[in-house]
Chains A and B, each alone.
Chain A
Amino acid sequence: MLKRASWLALVAALVVTVFPFYWMIRTALTPAADLFRDSTALWPSNPTLINFTRVLGLVSSEEARAAGGSGAEIDFLLYTTNSLVYSGLIAVVQTFCCAMAGYAFARLRFPGRDLVFGVIVAALMVPPIFTLLPNFVLVKQLDLVNTFPGLVLPSLLMTPFAVFFLRQFFLSIPRDVEEAATLEGVGRWGMFWRIVLPMSRGPLITIGLTTIVWSWKDYLWPLLVGKAEETRVLTVGLGVFLQQSPNRAPDWTGLMAGSVLSVVPVLLLLVFLGRRLVQSLNFSGMK
C-alpha cells in the first residue's frame, strides 16, 4: 500500500517535471493564429514548423510577420552558435588553467603557495554581483563592450570554485606514481601533462560539464556586455525577443520555439553524458 503510494508520488514528480517541457514543444508547434483556439488542446490541430524556421531567420520577414512575429530581425541560429562558442570556450580554457593551478597548489612547494590559495578561496565568499559592477566598468574602459573578448574574459581563466575543487581532487591522488616518475627524471610539466591529467579524466569532465551548464545559463553578464546582435547569446536573444514582443499579446509560439532551442543542446549533453553528469553530483565524495 505504502509502496504503491510511493511509486505514485514518484511518477507524479516526474510528470510535474516533464509536462511543462511537453507544453513548451506543443506551443512551439502551434500556428500563432490557433493559439487561442488550441489554448487547452494537448496537441495542436494544425501542427507546423513555421515558428522554428522564423526564429532561426530562415524565412523572409513578411512571412515571419504573417506567422505572428513582430517583424523585428531575430536570428536564433546565430545566438545558438554564440552560446555554444561562449560556453565551450570558457569550459575548456577555464578547466585547463584551473587544473594547472590546482596541481601547483596540491603538489608543488614554493613560498607563498598557501597564502595565495587562501586568498582565492576567500573570493568564493564574494557574490558575483559585487565584482560584476566594476568588471563592467573595466570592460567599458577597455572598449570591449559588445565584443567577444569582453564577453568571455572575466570567466575565461578561472573561477575560485574550479581551482578549489581540482586542488582537493589532486590532493587525493596517491603520490607513488609521481614519485616513481620523478626518479625517472620526468619534469614538473611532463608529470602534469602526461601522468596527472590522464589520471584525472573524471573530475576534469565533471568540472568542465558544470562550467558548460553554468555558462550556458548565464544571463546578466552577457546582457550587460553582449547585447548587440553579433555577440548575443541565446538567453539574451530570448530576453530581447520578449521585449520586442507586444505587451498585451506576447508572441508565445515564437518564444516557445526559441525556448526549445535553448533546451536541445543541454538535452543532447544529457543523452550522451547523462551517466557521468548524474554521477558527478556527489557532494559526499567532496570533503
Chain B
Amino acid sequence: MQAVLRKRDDRVAGWLFLLPVLVGFLIFYAYPTVRGVWYSFTDYSLLNDPAYVGADNYRELVGDGQFWNALKVTAYYVVVNIGSQTLLALGLAALMHRLTRSVVLRAALLVPWLVPNVTIGLLWAWLLDPDLGFVNHLLGVVGVDTTLSFNSPTWAMPLVALVNSWAYTGYTALLLYAGMLQIPQGLYESASIDGAGEVRMFRSITLPLLRPIIALVLVVSLIGSFQIFDTVAVVYGGKAPIPEARVIYYYIFQQAFTYFHMGYAAAVAMVLVLVLGVLTAVQMRMLRASRSDLG
C-alpha cells in the first residue's frame, strides 16, 4: 500500500496546495526581510528614494547613547518581567496541580491574556493614577509612603514589567500546569508514602521532570518579552515615554515613524534580530541539554 502512495506524482497538487501560503510568504515575509536588510544600508526618509550609504547607520548606532539606553531598558524589563512571571506562574501551576482540576478557575486565570495589551495598559494607568488610582489608595491605607507612577524614573520600568507579568502569569501557569499533568501521579503517591512533604515533592519530582517544559516556555516568553511596545505606548497617554521606559521596539517605531529615519530604524531592527537569534540559539542548546528524565 505504501507503494501506491509513493508512486503518485504530487508535483502539481503539492504546489497548488502551497500556493496561497507561498504568495503570502513571498510578498509579506521574504520580500520585506530582504528589503529590511537593504534599508539598513541606506538613508531613507519615506519621502525620498533609499540612498545607499554603506555601513553608516551601523557606525552611527555604535555611538548612539539612546540606542544603548533602549537596549539596557529593554534588558531590565525582560529580566523583571520574565523573572517574576515565571516564578509566580510556577507557584500558581504547582498550587493548581496539587489542589484542583477546576476548569472555571483556569478559565478565570486566562482572562488577562485574552485582553488587548492596550486595554491592560489603560486599566493599570488608571489603577496607578497618582491622584485617583485605587492601587495608590491601597498603598496609602497600608501606610506605604510611596506613590507608584509610570512617570517615576525609578518605578517606570519595573511597573511596566509587573503589569505585563500580571497579564501573562495565568497563561504561563496554564502551560506549566499542562506539563505537570504529564507527570505520573504514582510518583507523588509513593513519595508521600515514604514521608516526603509537599515542598520536598515539588523540588524532587515536579521541578526536575518539568524542566523541558519550563525551558520551552522560557524560550517563547523571552522572545515575546523583547517585543514590549503596546503597554509603553499606552501608559504614557499615547505620547513618547520617559527615557527610562523607551524600550527598543518603541525606539525603532520612533525612528521610523516620528523622525522618518527608515534606514536607521531598519539597522536597529537588525540588531534586535541578531540579539534574539543568539538568545534563541543559546536557549535551544540548553533545552537540548535538559531533557526530562521521563524522556
Contact = CB atoms under 8 A, between A and B. Distances in A.
- B interface SS class: helix
Contacts of A108: 10, 13-14, 17
Given A101-B21, A116-B22, A123-B29, A234 B116 contact: yes
B265 A262 contact: no
Interface string A228-264: 0000001100111011010100101001100100110
Contacts of B95: 6, 9-10, 13
Contacts of B62: none
Contacts, number: 298
A235 B118 contact: yes
Interface string B1-35: 11011101111011101101111110111111101
Given A17-B108, A131-B29, A278 B229 contact: no
Nearest to A109: B10
A128 interface: yes
A197 to B, nearest CB: 12
Contacts of A123: 25, 29-30, 33
Interface residues of B, number: 102
B170 A137 contact: no
Q: Chain A interface residue count: which class?
A: 35 or more
A135 B28 contact: yes
Given A6-B95, A130-B269, A239-B238, A100 B36 contact: no
Interface string A255-287: 110010011001101100011011001111000
B273 A130 contact: yes
A220 interface: yes
A101 B123 CA distance: 40
Contacts of B116: 216-219, 234-235, 238, 262
A158 B21 contact: yes
Contact of A157 (B20, B115, B198, B269): B20
B227 interface: yes
A216 B235 CA distance: 19
Interface string A100-140: 11011100111101001001100101111111111111101
Contact of B17 (A39, A40, A103, A128): A103
A24 B134 CA distance: 11
Interface stretch (B52-60, B65-73, B124-132, B188-196): B124-132
B98 A100 contact: no
B70 to A, nearest CB: 13
Enumerate the 4 nearest inter-chain pairs by beta-carbon distance, A residue then B residue, closest first.
Answer: A157-B24, A110-B14, A134-B32, A104-B17
Interface of B: 1-2, 4-6, 8-11, 13-15, 17-18, 20-25, 27-33, 35-36, 39, 46, 91-92, 95-96, 98-100, 103-119, 122-124, 126-127, 129, 132, 134, 137, 166, 170-171, 174-175, 178-179, 182, 197-198, 213, 216-217, 223, 226-227, 229-230, 233-234, 237-239, 249, 252-253, 256-257, 262, 265-266, 269-270, 272-273, 276-277, 280
25 contacts: A10-B100, A13-B92, A24-B123, A39-B137, A125-B277, A126-B33, A129-B269, A130-B270, A130-B272, A132-B32, A133-B269, A138-B27, A182-B8, A188-B10, A219-B233, A220-B233, A238-B118, A242-B122, A242-B238, A256-B122, A259-B122, A262-B115, A263-B111, A275-B103, A281-B174
